[in-house]
Amino acid sequence: MNTSSYDYLVVGAGSAGSVVAARLAADPRARVAVIEAGGPDDHPAVGIPLAFPTLFGTEHDWDYRTTPQPGLAGREVRVPRGRILGGSSSLNANVWTRGHRADFDGWAQGGAPGWTYDDVEPYFRRAERRTGTTGPGLYGTDGPQYVEDVRSRLEVTDVFLAACDELGLPRSADANAPDSTGVARLPTSQRDGRRWSTADGYLRGLGRENLDVRSGLHVRRILVEDGRATGVEAADREGRVVTLLARREVILSAGAINSPQLLMLSGIGPAEHLAEHGIDCVRPLDGVGQGLQDHLFAPLIVHCRREVTLAAAGSPEAQAAYERDRTGPLTSNVAEAAYFAASSPVHAAPDLEISFLPAAFVDHGIDPPAEHALTLAVVLLQPRSRGRVRLRSSSPDDAPEIDPGYLLDPAGEDLRRLIRGLAVARRILGTHALAPYAGEPWHPDLDLDDEASVEHHVRHRADTVYHHVGTCRMGTDEEAVVDPELRVRGIAGLRVVDASAMPVIPRAHTNAATIMLAERAADLIRGA
- Tell me the pLDDT tens digit for each residue of 147-179: 999 999 899 999 999 999 999 999 999 999 999
- SS3 for 296-321 is EEEEEEEEECCCCCHHHHHCHHHHHH
C-alpha angle with apex 104: 100 to 110, nearest 5 degrees? Answer: 135
Span 501-526, average pLDDT = 98
Annotated binding site for FAD: 92-95, 219
Distance between CA 368 and CA 377 in Å, rounded? 16
Residues whose CB falls within 8 Å of the CB of residue 345, separated by 6 or more in sequence, listed in order: none
Residues whose CB falls within 8 Å of the CB of residue 77, separated by 6 or more in sequence, listed in order: 65, 66, 69, 404, 406, 463, 464
Span 458-476, average pLDDT = 98
Would you say residue 134 has pLDDT above 80? no
Span 426-452, average pLDDT = 97
Span 136-146, average pLDDT = 92
**Tell me: the pLDDT tens digits for 354-371?**
999 999 999 999 999 999
Three-class secondary structure of residue 110 per DSSP = coil
Would you say residue 505 has pLDDT above 90? yes
**Tell me: the pLDDT tens digits for 35-57?**
999 999 999 999 999 999 999 99
Would you say residue 405 has pLDDT above 70? yes
Half-sphere exposure at residue 490, Cβ-oriented, CA atoms within 13 angstroms: 16
Three-class secondary structure of residue 70 per DSSP = helix
Question: Higher-confidence residue: 344 or 449?
Answer: 449
Annotated binding site: 92-95, 219
Share above pLDDT 70 across residues of the chain, in percent, rounded to a whole number: 99
Residues whose CB falls within 8 Å of the CB of residue 277, separated by 6 or more in sequence, listed in order: 391, 393, 394
Burial of 72 (0-12, 13-18, 19+ CB in 10 A): buried
Give the pLDDT of residue 133.
Answer: 66
Would you say residue 1 has pLDDT above 80? no
Give the pLDDT of residue 352.
Answer: 98
Burial of 316 (0-12, 13-18, 19+ CB in 10 A): exposed
State the greatest distance between any 2 C-alpha atoms of the chain, in Å, as a whole number: 69
Angle between helices 117-127 and 101-109 (to 10 degrees): 130
Give the pLDDT of residue 345.
Answer: 80
Give the pLDDT of residue 207.
Answer: 87
DSSP string for residues in 56-111: TTSTTB--EEBPPBGGGTTB--EE--B-BTTGGGGTS--B-----HHHHHHHHHTT
Give the pLDDT of residue 493.
Answer: 98
Distance between CA 256 and CA 57 in Å, rounded? 19
Distance between CA 50 and CA 61 in Å, rounded? 17
Amino acid at 292: L
Give me the phi and psi of 471, to 5 degrees please: -85, -5
Residue 262 in contact with residue 436, Cβ under 8 Å? no
Distance between CA 152 and CA 193 in Å, rounded? 8
Sorting pLDDT into bands at 50, 70 and 90, what band is 453?
A: very high
Residue (of 383, 378, 399) closest to 80 by Cα position: 399
Share above pLDDT 90 across residues of the chain, in percent, rounded to a whole number: 96
Amino acid at 522: A
Dihedral Cα 500, 503, 504, 505, nearest 10 deg: -20
Looking at the DSSP bridge assignments, the partners of residue 153 are none
Looking at the DSSP bridge assignments, the partners of residue 145 are 128
Would you say residue 135 has pLDDT above 60? no
Average pLDDT for the chain: 96
Looking at the DSSP bridge assignments, the partners of residue 36 are 215
Quick one: which H or E segment has residue 388?
A: strand 387-390
Assign domain 151-185+296-382+408-461 to a CATH class: alpha beta
Assign domain 2-44+198-292+469-526 to a CATH class: alpha beta
**Tell me: the pLDDT tens digits for 260-294?**
999 999 999 999 999 999 999 999 999 999 999 99
Amino acid at 32: V
Sorting pLDDT into bands at 50, 70 and 90, what band is 526?
A: very high
Span 456-464, average pLDDT = 98
Helical residues (DSSP H) of 186-315, grouped into ranges: 198, 255-265, 271-276
Residue (of 92, 4, 82) closest to 40 by Cα position: 82
Sorting pLDDT into bands at 50, 70 and 90, what band is 2?
A: confident
Residue-range domain boundaries for the chain: 2-44+198-292+469-526, 151-185+296-382+408-461
Distance between CA 500 and CA 481 in Å, rounded? 10
Give me the phi and psi of 316, to 5 degrees please: -60, -35
The pTM of this model reads: 0.98
Sorting pLDDT into bands at 50, 70 and 90, what band is 88?
A: very high
Sorting pLDDT into bands at 50, 70 and 90, what band is 191?
A: very high
**Tell me: the pLDDT tens digits for 375-394?**
999 999 999 999 999 999 99
List the catalytic residues. 467, 509
DSSP 293: B
Residue 328 in contact with residue 152, Cβ under 8 Å? yes
